[in-house]
Amino acid sequence: MIGDKKGYKKTKIGYIPEDWKVLKVEDCMTPIKKPIDPKPNEKYREIGVRSHGKGIFYKDAIKGADLGNKRVFKVEPHCFIVNIVFAWEQAVAKTTLNESGFIASHRFPMYQPKRGILNLDFITNYFNTPRGKYLLGVASPGGAGRNKTLGRKNFAELLIPVPGYDEQVRISEVLTTWDKAIRKNRSLISKLETQKKIIAENLINKDFDSWGNREDWRTIKLKEVLGYEQPNDYLVSDTNYSDQFKTPVLTAGKTFILGYTDEQEGVYTPKNKIILFDDFTTSSKLVSFPFKLKSSAAKILYPKSDLVDLEFIYEAMQVKNYKPIAHRRHWISQYSEFEFNIPNLNRQKEILKILTGLNTELRIVKEQLNLIKKQKKGLMQRLFKGENRFKSAQNG
């Protein structure tokens, strides 16, 4: 137990090193608000902040007249920024010089750490820990979704552990090293995914004659070979996920596994494999294990024809050149009507054999990435509890 160790003290937020302080957010960060009055004919670019600590993204430029009555503010570099609507999902980040000249709506308040008291990277990393997520949830009363909004007064009064400034910098430097390793792996994954897509397009969409006679191929609509099930019976009730739980909560988007739940009712267990299809974005995932879902905006697709291998259909869907424009459901009205050229079952398996090798290579690199992220998460928890110290900090 950390509380039994010499050099630690009991505080309102638990045991921390004796030389650390417990401060309110308002005591170590200053709100920054620089409103602007958009000119109708000038163009502006807004920023947004992704959930789960995934950083800042940029919106397309629009004219000031198109902003309407929206209150907007100048983005200040070197600030902690939070999306008040999704703060409880850790929609937090730091602004940099890259965001100079951008604007943000009133939903993205910015805070400048007080010089010599709080390090920007330290506080950004802290709110990406499980404890940080808990605090953001406490400061965001209300129901889930858009009703669970961060209260600024609540946020200002949150209590956080504050080591000496030099130790904050050391902690941030260590975590930056792990972030570099994560970015390197993500870059490799992106290259492998691009390589696989090119090969898959070449195999699946090439001329019929390259894979045998034309008689070996036929044209099908997806609805002829795939059935679907609505997700309503498999939706998760409680979004307080934990890695200690067993059942993954899925989305068909990039995140895929949102977290893990201990709910035992309404778990979908595939007999073999299914395709999880996002009805709005049309992205999809191949799934072979029990799961629950967060959103009803999904379809669970399963094979209903012996003429196709489900994995082949999945791979064909990945190289389909289609990007939805309207924000609406697509499976029934449009996507299921799409036509695909498919070879006979033996040819499908030959193509899949090639793609499986590429998928295996991708899976190994993704597992390495997940391991690095897991190791970083554990390290963060130890660093922010003061369990791992630097000699210079321990010796004062």
With cut-offs at 50, 70 and 90, classify the pLDDT of residue 255.
Answer: confident
C-alpha to C-alpha distance for 169 and 157, rounded to whole angstroms? 24
Residue entry with tokens 């007080």: 114
Given pLDDT bands bounded at 50, 70 and 90, which one contains residue 191?
very high
Q: Just give the CATH number of 208-345.
A: 3.90.220.20
Directed axis angle between helix 345-385 and helix 310-318, to 10°?
A: 70
Mean pLDDT of the chain: 91
Pick one of 1.10.3190.10, 3.40.50.2000, 3.40.710.10, 3.90.220.20 as the CATH number of 21-162. 3.90.220.20
DSSP letter, residue 279: T
Concatenating the DSSP letter of every residue in 18-57 gives TT-EEEEHHHHEEEE--B----TTSEE-BEEE-STT--EE
What are 263-307's pLDDT values in tens digits? 999 999 998 999 999 999 999 999 999 999 998 989 999 999 888
Extract the tokens encoding 285.
């995932």
The whole-number pLDDT of residue 321 equals 84
What residue ranges of the chain are covered by domains with CATH 3.90.220.20? 21-162, 208-345
CA 152 to mean position of chain CA atoms: 24
What is residue 249's three-state secondary structure?
A: strand
The three-point CA angle 43-44-47 to 5° equals: 155
The whole-angstrom separation of Cα 343 and Cα 220 is 10
- 323-356 pLDDT, tens digit per residue, is 888 778 889 989 999 999 888 898 899 999 999 9
Q: Which residues contact 69 (CB under 8 A, 6 or more apart)?
A: none
Q: Which helix (H) or strand (E) holds 250?
A: strand 247-250
Which pLDDT value is given to residue 203? 86
pLDDT, residue 147, reads 72
Task: Kindly report, residue by residue over 160-182, the tens digit of the pLDDT.
Answer: 999 999 999 999 999 999 999 99
**pLDDT tens for each residue of 143-159:** 655 578 999 999 999 99
pTM higher than 0.75, yes or no? Answer: no
- Segment 351-368 shows an average pLDDT of 94
- List the beta bridge partners of residue 32: 110
Asked if the model's pLDDT at residue 229 lies above 90, the reply is yes
